[in-house]
Amino acid sequence: MKTLSLNLKSSAFPLTVIFASALFAFAITAPAQTAPQTPVLSGHAAFTDAAHEAPGTRRLLTVSDLPAPAPDQSVDNGPNVVPRPANAWPIAPKGFKVELYATGLENPRLLRFAPNGDLFLAESETGKIKAFRGVDASGKPKQTSVFATGLHQPFGIAFYPSGDQPKWVYIGDTDAIVRFPYRDGDLVARGPMEHIADLPGGGRLRGGGHWTRDLVFSQDGTKLFASVGSHSNVDDPDTHPEEYHRADVLEFTPEGKFVEVYAWGLRNCVGEAINPTSGQLWCSTNERDALGNNLVPDYVTHVQEGGFYGWPWWYMGPHQDPRLEGKHPELKSKVITPDILVNPHFASLEMTFYEGSQFPPEYLGDGFAAEHGSWNRAQRSGYEVIRLPMHNGHATGEYEDFLTGFTVGNGDGDVWGRPVGVAVAPDGSLFVSDDGSRSIWHVIYVGK
């Protein structure tokens, strides 16, 4: 039974928001459009859809707001991704502008900055890692290079050791942790790939399992955390051996030796980050589907060593999944409630923390997360980047719409953009990858 084996291993709507449609110049660079600030929306009003997402709008979802399971509401409403309309552009808060940094990419996914300021991108579908250097006068990369090829759905990227002179670039392939020798400024891997650890294989969703594998090192560099999503929506690991070491965060040494299941019951911790204030590991997590429009919320949370987050038997504290009723009552009191509940089916992907100085001071220490967008919801939701307010390294529980505008019309129709990656540049600006428009966006603060 997975619960025992893992423990042993551990020890060795309707809301009207005034939202004016923006008209934009037919230019590569356009100032971001704005929306008015609104109070924090809570209770039923905190549930949203793409038509009511606007920069500056804050929401606070709590466990007490969760409805009863309603499987009859479950739909397959996957997005129809279309080319970006001529007048469409991401919408950011007042004082920010958005530039199109790169486009024509192939399945752009996770982003990470090297210590020297080069931007690394996983093009997962093609098995490539690309590197971009600088920003020229037109807002484009000064230099672009393919750092590595021949990978298996790469996603996570981590530089080791920390500091200005890393010696390795670690990559989270769907079935392994690999690394390439690296020296400051390398735009092409200087040596062959080294395999250091196996991971449970990914495949594809809708039968193949969650395939993304993020990697992050602990603040002191002694631990390597690898996130592995579940193989299924809600299969019982007691009777499905393919779920072994899945829906977990696994801990390794930097040399690739498996240490323990660091945390479990996280259905799909897609994005990992270390909170610079607290030093804690955080995860941006996709929860389960097919329990209703407003169940189960995705979430962003700090991750406790040995912590259990519920999947598949429980969710959000003492709520049992009705499809596994009566299973593991002994775990009911052990389920950790996440720090920040975001809307259900948002598909929360990469996250990061803001340590820059370009954005207004109130952003310092806050988080950002990319919301790829829903499929198991009658109304489209997600398709945005959200801000995660923090106070002394701890979440307030709220989240704020930060970068929106990736859907067409009233938000219930076609989709042109799907945010995946978020990374803070050395100058304090924010870069966002978007596998809908196959682009990277650059968000810059220009003042009031």
CATH number, position 114:
2.120.10.30
Q: Residue 371 pairs with which residues in a beta bridge?
A: 348, 384
Q: Read off the pLDDT of residues 254-266 as tens digits, 9 standing for 90 and up.
A: 999 999 999 999 9
Q: Looking at residue 426, what is its pLDDT?
A: 98
Is the pLDDT score of 156 beyond 80? yes
Does some domain include residue 34?
yes
Assess if residue 429 is contained within a domain: yes
Tens digit of each residue's pLDDT (9 = 90 or more) over 163-184: 999 999 999 999 999 999 999 9
Residue 31, pLDDT > 60, answer no
Instruction: Tell me the residue type at 147.
Output: F
Query: What six digits make up the tokens of 125?
Result: 């579908």
Q: Is residue 7 part of a domain?
A: yes
What pLDDT is recorded for position 160?
98
Characterise 188 by phi-psi region: left (phi > 0), alpha (psi -120 to 50), beta (else): beta
Q: Is the pLDDT of residue 343 over 80?
A: yes
Kindly state whether residue 163 falls inside one of the protein's structural domains: yes
Is 155 domain-assigned? yes
Give a yes or no: residue 19 inside a domain.
Answer: no
150 phi-psi bin (left φ>0, alpha ψ -120 to 50, beta other): left
Sign for the pseudo-dihedral over CA of 339, 341, 345, 349: negative
pTM: 0.91
Range of the domain at 47: 2-12+30-445
Alpha carbons within 13 A on the beta-carbon side of 281:
28
Pick the residue with more confidence: 18 or 277? 277
* Cα–Cα distance, 141 to 290 (Å, whole number): 42
Residue 288 burial by CB count (10 A; 0-12/13-18/19+): exposed, middle or buried? buried
> By percentage, how much of the chain surpasses pLDDT 70?
90
* Torsion on CA atoms 410, 416, 419, 421, rounded to nearest 10: -170
**Strands 367-371, 348-353: pairing kind:** antiparallel
Residue 137 within any structural domain of the chain:
yes
pLDDT for residue 59 is more than 80: yes
pLDDT at 410 over 90: no
Whether residue 300 contacts residue 283, with contact meaning beta carbons closer than 8 Å, is answered with yes
Number of domains in the chain: 1
Question: Is 18 part of any domain?
Answer: no
* Closest C-alpha to 303, from 317, 283, 318: 283
Q: Give CA separation, 11 vs 185, 223, 259, 438, in Å.
A: 40, 16, 9, 44
